[in-house]
A and B are shown apart, each in its own frame.
Chain A
Amino acid sequence: MAIPLRGRLRRYGTSYAMLLPFLALFAAFLIWPLANSLYLSFTTFDGINPATFTGLDNFRRLTADDRFLHAIGNTSLYVVASVLLGTLLSLGLALAFDGPGWSHRIMRTVFFLPSVTSSIALMLMWKWVLFPSDVGLANTIVSWFGGGAVAWLATPGLTIPILVLMSVWGGMGYGMILYVAGLGSIPREYYEAAEIDGASAWRRFRHITLPLLRPVTTYVVVTGLIGAFQVFEAVYIVFRGTNSVGGVLDSGLMIVPYLYDQGFTHFKLGYASAIAWVLFLIIFVLSLVNLRLGRAMKEL
């Protein structure tokens, strides 16, 4: 039998009152901006004048915008490469350094450091590493092997590989920590039993470690996917040209830097909001697919 409203209020009133500050902040800083951005995506808001409602115009324009489609293509390539490599290397590092000893702890700390360092500082460091001419670190190393100076930031074919390298280097330590925790939760008895049955190291990894790490893998892939789709600093700081966010030939143009460029450089905040919602839908659908796949594989 349902409790009457009065009773419910008496019973849960204090709890709801204590939730109010959070709910107010949640509504003001998340729900309200979200609703506003959804509304703006149907307008031609320029940031200063009142918004003009234009229906689905912004979304229609997106489908014919070459730079946006190029940004989607670049981002997809980047996401696949960085998430795949990042996950594999995170797992590899976790397997290599999951022990309790000092050497393993130190190595884990070293690989985890980029995850807690300011991303701006990291990107400035990469800019210095990839500095052109013979003064940059990368070119200094190339010169040790007799190579000439490489235009790292001005060669379109190198842009995505460099962005993937920066992402994987910066993110694999975080994935490693998650995998180390996952490895720790696998009961030792499984391995002992498998060993007694004569299972090789590979078979133990294939049939015990990998399946039991599936929840961690799903988490690493989904969070990696979300992060990779939202790549911004790397493009904005390292590859920004004088007047364009995408680097040479837009080879590094990604969705969020393009969104920023349209919204905050060209005053097209309505259009930028439409880009944001398309990005949200892409991430939402891919995350759903990923979670569903993770569940389906578990049921197999």
Chain B
Amino acid sequence: MRRTTAACTTVLLALVSAACATSGRPQTQQAATDAPATLSFWSTGGDDETAIFQKAADLYHQQHPNVTIKVQTLSWDDAYAKLLAAATSRSGPDVISGGMTWTIQFGARGAMVDLREHGLDSLKAQAQPAQWESAVSPDGSVYGVPLDMSTLALYYRTDLLEQAGLDAPPKTWEELTAAIGKLKAAGVAKPYSQDWGNLDWIGYFNYLYQAGGTFYTPDCKPSLDTPQAERALAYWVDLYREHGAPTASVEASDALDTGTALVVGGNWIAKGMDVNKPKLKGKWAMTTLPAGPAGPTTFIGGRAIGVTSFSRHAKTGADFVRFMYSDEAIAAIVEEARKRNLPYIPPRPDKVVAASSFTPEQAQVFEQAFSTGKAAPGCPGWDESAPDVSKQLQSAILGKADVRTALAEAAKVMRANAG
């Protein structure tokens, strides 16, 4: 028995020491820049989105015949884990796209190329300022740049608003609550709901900035324990507790279809509404979110694109990323997106109306939102804090904590994670 135990211990120790002998990270040797190259671009999204980005890749190939770029789909559900596996094994894609903060997180661990080395910080002049800031690391490294933009809009049922005697959608917080009251009085059972960001920090984000608050100060100090943050949360909580906004998230198009009069939803909803909900055709419209006491800020999201540090073709990859900001690449992507009825808003604000796949009227609403838009904080510790912040917001909405306590708790977690 003793011999068996000793043998088992020895084997285990040997295995553990072998496991400990993990080697360091080797530098990736770069291929000659003029040699024929095939680059792999892992694009997070659907197959249709892969197809639209492949159009830009094909155009790049036409201009650089010795470079071929193959775009592959990563579904949102498992993209992050697959990219982490690729980064761990230092093999896989040359170019990646995904959530706005992903490239920062991979970059901070040495898995992405700092695109400043290839002069891509010059793209800042073309990008939406807040979205650019959100894509840049706190130390200034540019591990990824925005690939597209997304935002929120207020969708509304024109017939139900008319029924309630409202001739225009609400433009301010006061008008929103007044409109909800009128809709209720007119017999509309579901006056208001929120799709993207319901019970979540993204939903609160809009009210916070509209009240003049922020998650962090410009030097990344948590700033949720402020009167502005309290005012925003009190108003948001009232929308649920006083005005009956549902805590369950229903996609904006389904909500409108089942009789909700005013719905806050993502820009992509506008693209598919007439196809997915033909009965709603002519009965819905959209506008920007109601403005708060400090103005009309709206959340900006989107995807970031960057080059992996284990790519043998970093220079070509960076050149392709730059190419994605060119007029011709955007035109090729938009043309294909229109053919496939896909939502696509380029990362350049000057192109939102001129070259997005939306109708000019819809694009104008988004352009207005982007002009005052803010993006997610890129401060250290935000990703770790976000679930706890949402939990505190939920506590306030569900009546488990008062507004001030919930925000103080959220700020405490953010401070602890800020390091």
Chain A residues within 8 Å of B, Cβ to Cβ: 31-32, 35-36, 38-40, 46-51, 53, 67, 131-135, 149, 151-156, 241-246, 248-250, 261, 264-267
Taking beta carbons and an 8 Å cutoff, which residues of B are in contact with A? 12, 15-16, 18-20, 22-25, 80-81, 84, 87-88, 105-106, 109-111, 196-202, 246-250, 254-255, 258, 383-384, 386-388, 390-391, 394-395, 398, 400
From residue A246, how far is it (CB to closest CB) to chain B in Å? 7
**A to B CB contacts below 8 Å, 9 in the list:** A35-B12, A38-B19, A48-B106, A51-B20, A131-B250, A133-B246, A149-B246, A244-B390, A249-B398
Question: Are A248 and B106 touching (Cβ within 8 A)?
Answer: no
Question: Among the listed A31, A245, A248, A264, which residue makes an inter-chain contact with B84, where contact means beta carbons less than 8 Å apart?
Answer: A264
Query: Inside 8 A of A149's CB, which chain B residues have their CB?
Result: 246, 248
The CA of A243 and the CA of B196, in the complex, are separated in Å by 12
Contact B199 A154 (CB under 8 A): yes
Whether the pair A266, B383 counts as a contact (CB closer than 8 A) is: yes
When the two chains form their complex, are residues A241 and B200 in contact, meaning their CB atoms are under 8 A apart? Answer: yes
Q: A32-B15, A35-B12 are in contact. Are A243 and B258 (CB under 8 A)?
A: no
Q: Which residue of A lies closest to B258 (CB)?
A: A133
Contact B387 A135 (CB under 8 A): no
| B20 and A39 contact, CB distance less than 8 A | yes
Report whether A242 and B200 are in contact in the complex, using a CB–CB cutoff of 8 Å: yes
Cβ of B21 to closest chain A Cβ, rounded Å:
10
- Other 7 A-B pairs with CB < 8 A, given A135-B254, A242-B201, A243-B201: A35-B12, A47-B109, A48-B87, A151-B248, A153-B248, A248-B199, A265-B80
Asked if A264 and B80 make an inter-chain contact with CB atoms under 8 angstroms apart, the answer reads yes
B383 to chain A, nearest CB (A): 7
A243 cross-chain contacts in B, Cβ below 8 A: 200-201, 386-387, 390
Contacts of B80 in A (CB 8 A): 264-265
Complex: A39 Cα to B390 Cα, angstroms:
33
A241 touches B199 (CB 8 A): yes
Residues of A within 8 A of B383 (CB): 265-266
Contacts of A36 in B (CB 8 A): 19
Q: Please state if A51 and B22 are interface contacts (CB–CB under 8 Å).
A: yes
Residues of the B chain whose Cβ atoms lie less than 8 Å from the Cβ of A132:
246, 248-250
* Closest chain A residue, CB of each to CB of B388: A67
**Cβ–Cβ contact A133 & B390, under 8 A:** no
Cα of A40 to Cα of B80 in the assembled complex, Å: 20
Closest to B201 in A: A243
From B12, B19, B22, B248, contact of A154 by CB (8 A): B248
State A131–B246 Cα separation when bound (angstroms). 13
Determine whether the beta carbon of B247 is less than 8 Å from that of A267: no
User: Which residues of chain A are near B196, meaning CB under 8 Å?
Assistant: 242
> Residues of A contacting B390 with CB < 8 Å?
241-244
